[in-house]
Amino acid sequence: MHFYYLSTFWILTSNSLTSATPSKGRKTCTVKASGTNKTDDAPAIRSAFSECSRQARIVFNPTTYYVNSVLNITGLEDVEIDIQGTLLWSTDIPYWLNNSLPVGYQNQSTAFVLGGNNLKINGYGTGTFNGNGDYWYEWIRQQPNSSNYPGRPHQITFNGLTNSIVKGVNFLRSQMWTMSIIHSHNSVWQDILVNNTGNKFQSSNTDGADTMFSSHLHFHNWTVHNGDDSISFKANSTSMRLTDSRFHGGLGIAIGSIGQLADVFETVQDISAANVYFQDTLHAFYVKTWTGDRNGYPPNGGGGGRGFASGLRLTNLTTRDVRGAALAVSQCTRFKGAPGQGNCTNSRFQIRDVVVEGLRGSTKSARVASLQCSAVAPCTGIALSGVDLRFGNGTAVGGYLCGHVGVREGWDCTGEVCEGGSATGEC
């Protein structure tokens, strides 16, 4: 098993990126669990990371740790983190709404910030973060603002994670987004399970992962069951790789939303996905930008941003019963409860150089593609090949709806696209 360093990014050369085997001779801090949800284990966790913050090893035993308060652990250097048990977040919703930590993007917040250089985080396939999301999913249904509710935390934010690997960790019933990844570079997440399926209610905004201001990240062998973006590449995400993964029930691979901050220039560049399976997702791949008008402020309002998404390459995508257009663009992002978004074709954020090679499987939609692009900065360089989508009865699907799409390769528009507000890629 080998790494080859190419353009400061790890290239996969075998079935496993690394064994993440613990090193001998390191100082080890074992986190002692209280054994009761009435006692907060967060102080013990913070203490262990404080004592073993450099060239050391942190061990979570095969038991349950009750996390009743926020964790902010950054600045680690060369630390192995063995997660053999479960970290279970408390259900004290008022506490989390009032104390969750800022992510640094879109006015979002989080329950746990973790960052450092050369970290090896291993869950061995059993280590688990459990956000106790059932309580959140029921609670959010009763609120007038069910999208991006202020203070509703992400389960974990990797902030400033560099030259690191996260392997074999399960993320269950996240409170909102599972993980936000910000200011992180040259790192790998592999053999990851995300399951945000509720026992009683389902919830939106349970993204599998969201990246921003990060580069050279590799997501390998992911399985995601959720109710929103399976994985989303947001502002200033560069050189991202997604390989050999399976997405169930969510929205698929997303670019954005982006262009939310007025007059701010943002980009998404060099994104690739290969060998990805989609079951009962809304899309396989979609892009969502805000309009050229600013209406309100993040997280639910905004618009007027500038920039581009370029170099998006997807190969060997397999679908089973996707619910909407397999490929979609909406440049009129609108969230529930947000102010009116105005003109749906005046975004100054451009989508260009998108290549899809190999898109096969079944669909419930008559649309292969629904591309609602900007008249101000039209989509261009959209190349599709090897597309074969069929209804369950075997009938081929051939609908390509588009508006303001420039250079096309391998396909033609068959009709006009709907122009209207959307948070999920099609109006």
Rg (CA), the chain: 21
The model's pLDDT over 54-71, given as tens digits with 9 standing for 90+, comes to 999 999 999 999 999 999
Distance of CA 72 to the CA centre of its chain: 21
pLDDT at 300: 85
CA distances from 333 to 109, 111, 347 (A): 21, 27, 10
3-class DSSP assignment, residue 86: strand
3-class DSSP assignment, residue 47: helix
The model's pLDDT over 72-89, given as tens digits with 9 standing for 90+, comes to 999 999 999 999 999 999
Mean pLDDT score of the chain = 93
For range 108-128, the mean pLDDT: 98
Instruction: Determine what percent of the chain is predicted with pLDDT higher than 70.
Output: 93
* DSSP secondary structure code for residue 15 in this structure: S
404 φ/ψ sector (left φ>0, alpha ψ -120 to 50, else beta): left
Distance CA 341, CA 290 (A): 8
383: pLDDT strictly greater than 60:
yes
pLDDT at 338: 63
With contact defined as beta carbons under 8 Å apart, do 350 and 392 qualify? no
Place of tokens 């202020």: 150
Phi, psi of 104 (to 5 degrees): 100, 20
For the record, the structure tokens of 313 come out as 């390459």
For the record, the structure tokens of 358 come out as 């190999």
The sign of the CA dihedral 275, 279, 284, 288 is negative
Nearest residue to 56 (alpha-carbon basis) of 19, 28, 24: 28
* DSSP secondary structure code for residue 120 in this structure: E
Q: Which residues pair with 117 in a beta bridge?
A: 77, 162
For range 82-108, the mean pLDDT: 97
The model's pLDDT over 171-212, given as tens digits with 9 standing for 90+, comes to 999 999 999 999 999 999 999 999 999 999 999 899 999 999
Confidence of residue 296 (pLDDT cuts 50, 70, 90): confident
Residue spans of the domains in the chain: they are 59-416
Nearest residue to 254 (alpha-carbon basis) of 289, 213, 219, 221: 289
Q: Which of 191, 228, 293, 353 is catalytic?
A: 228
CATH 2.160.20.10, applies to 59-416: yes
pLDDT at 255: 98
pLDDT at 7: 34
pLDDT at 8: 35
3-class DSSP assignment, residue 48: helix
Give, for 136, the enclosing helix (H) or strand (E): helix 133-140
345: pLDDT strictly greater than 50:
yes
For range 325-347, the mean pLDDT: 84
Query: Is 210 designated active site?
Result: no
pLDDT at 308: 98
Distance CA 114, CA 242 (A): 22
Confidence of residue 145 (pLDDT cuts 50, 70, 90): confident
16: pLDDT strictly greater than 80:
no
Phi, psi of 53 (to 5 degrees): -95, -10
For range 293-303, the mean pLDDT: 89
Our CA dihedral for 407, 412, 418, 422, rounded to 10 degrees, sits at -60
* Amino acid in position 272: S
Distance CA 145, CA 208 (A): 21
